[in-house]
Structure formats: structure tokens, C-alpha cells
Structure 1
């Protein structure tokens, strides 16, 4: 693309895109964009950023208020391994990409694939950009109550996609201890666990 200004809607008057280059379109899309940004003093500054676009996603915390437990997963994450996680295994809330589905439908699918549980009533609690300095993804955060009657399969994920997922059931108090001592280090999971701890599982169940 030749260097030229590209029309930007009026809702973003402080940004004028100058050039956009595709760097990679292998697994997901990596672009480098040059743009002019209007600073608070009214002056314009030329900047350049790389953005990784993998689509938006959803994450859900399964909980049982009566037993005080949550269901999480444990799986290998290569980027975590590269960045110092000794075995690359992370404990996480169930999550996945939307892939064109509504968030509540996508998370039902992911929970069934990863944990074997059928989600009865996912309830959205908030949305968040997880790494806005470079990744475009926005996550939709859900909670849902479960009991053993909701278990329809063994879970484990899709072996064709390299998934080998262990289902982990923990008391919420123990999960919070694992956050504190570093055994749980996944950001989205920490956010949902802290939300559950602040609100309380019985209150989550009642809302």
C-alpha cells in the first residue's frame, strides 16, 4: 500500500492511518500500521505499531456454590514455556475463540469440548482487552453453575488441534491460594477467580 491518508470515521478523529502492511497471515493476522495520532495539545505525531489479530474470545468459570468448588483446566502453552514456565502447563478457566458464533454459544461449545460439562445458563459478567498494547482480542467473561448431572463426557479438548486438556476441580479457596503462590498464573483465570471470591459463590448462584 502506498503512503496515503485513509479515511477514518468521525468517531476516531484523533487517528489518521497512513500505511498498513501485512506481515503474516499464517495462523492469525499480524499487521504493521503507520498512523498519525493527535496528542492532547493538538499536535500530530507519527507512530508505528504492530497488531496481532486472532479474533475475539470467551472464557467461563464453572462453579458449584453448594460445594464451594470451581472447574478449571490444565494444558500445555508453548509461549508460556518459552517465557520461563518450566513445563509449560497452565491452569486456566475454559476459554476459546468465537469463530463467528455469539459469545454464549462459543463458550458452551468450548466448555463441552474441554471439560465434558454441558453449560446450563452462562451469565456474562464483564468484557476486557487482555493485551491491548499489541493484541486486538477482547474477551467476554462468563460464569455458570454446574453439578455432576451436567457432565456429558470426559472433555480433554480436540486432539486434532494438539489439545491434551486435564480437567481440574478445586475448592475456590484452594484456587485462590494457588493464585497467591503462583501456581495459577493465567490472567483471565485470575480475573474470574477474583470476581468469584469478591462476590461469593452463593451470591453468584443467586443472581
Structure 2
């Protein structure tokens, strides 16, 4: 990109993820160059999935405490979301989400279909989400789910009708962007109407 030069990166924090300060020269459309400084939070990429059952017209969601949501709204910090997780090292996104489904909600799904890739906060976070859909049946349940104690997870598994999930989205009970995108994907593509 010839409108960008003199990029300097400084690590501000390297705890759970990496917070970088990036200074760079950027050329604006009028030809002028300006020195700009931005902070960028790098936690790797992630995968998420809308688990759906066409026969029952249900989906599976998770409910868990999210400190940033609590810090922003001072509510209880509980967030209702689709199953999701961080992609490990060079792991394929589909492998990641199949593993996360078993850990978080207790179902062993054979496959998932990628439907979208998206940055949910490209102004501050490097994470790209790989969004999947996958059918589930009651026979696929292998445990109660709830997440991994080693990852300090305490996840409530929620099975609701698709109609109820849409209402939860509309009344802002669900405020998670990846979940909203997948619910709207299901609406637009008539996921619950037999082919």
C-alpha cells in the first residue's frame, strides 16, 4: 500500500492477548501525509457456530459472564451468544468450532458449514471471526457442556426456539454481534424452511 509508510510497532501489553501501539505515516486523498497513532488489540482469530435443529425449530445458545460487557453497561455482564472460541495456532476454523461445540455445549457434531468471515471491531481488534452453521440432533449430545474448568469457563447451555431467539435479538436480550449476524443469516437464507 503506497499510502502507508514508516510503520513502527510498540507492544504495550502482552498478557491474555497483545496490545500494540502502531505509529505510521498515512497519505490522505489531498496528497498530504500525517503521522497517526493507533492501538490494536491482537488476540488471534475466532470461530463461532449457529447450532440449529430443523425438526424442532430450535437453536442452542450459551450464556456466560463477560467482563467487558459488565464494564461498559454496569449490568450483570451476562451475555447470550452462539458457541464460539479462539482458533489455536494453525488450527483450521472448522476443527476449532467442532471442538468448541463439544466443550461448551456438549454436542459432538460431524461438520459445520462456513457462511461468513467478518471483523467485528476492525478499528481496534485484529480478530477475524469465521462464522458457521451446523445442524444438531438430540442424539449428538455426549455431555452436559459448560466449558472447561482449566479455561475458567462457566457456561450455561440454552436451547430455545428460533422464533424466541429472534425475539431475544429484537428486544436486545441478545446483543452479541456474531450471534446477531448468524441469526440474521438464518432468517435471510430460510434455514428453518425445508429445502
| TM tier relative to shorter chain | over 0.9
Partner residue in 2 for 1:143: 133
| Matched position secondary structure for 2:50 | strand
Does residue 30 of structure 2 align to residue 41 of structure 1?
yes
Does residue 104 of structure 2 align to residue 114 of structure 1?
yes
Of the three residues 178, 183, 191, the one matched with 2:181 is: 191
Partner residue in 1 for 2:116: 126
Within-5 A mapping of 1:27-176: 27-100=16-89, 101-176=91-166
C-alpha change, 1:176 and 1:202, in structure 2 (3 Å) is: closer
- 2:49, 2:82 within 8 Å by CA — same for their partners in 1? yes
- 1:68, 1:201 within 8 Å by CA — same for their partners in 2? no
- 1:20, 1:34 within 8 Å by CA — same for their partners in 2? yes
TM, length-normalised to structure 1: 0.90
Q: Equivalents in 1 of 2:32, 2:176: separation in Å?
A: 39
Give the drift of 1:18: 3.5
- 2:186, 2:192 within 8 Å by CA — same for their partners in 1? no
Structure with bigger gyration radius? 1
- 2:98, 2:111 within 8 Å by CA — same for their partners in 1? no
Q: Equivalents in 1 of 2:78, 2:59: separation in Å?
A: 19
Q: Which runs of 5+ in 1 are unaligned?
A: 1-11
| Matched position secondary structure for 1:83 | helix
Q: Which runs of 5+ in 2 are unaligned?
A: none
| Matched position secondary structure for 1:176 | helix
**Structure 1 runs of 4+ off > 4 angstroms?**
none
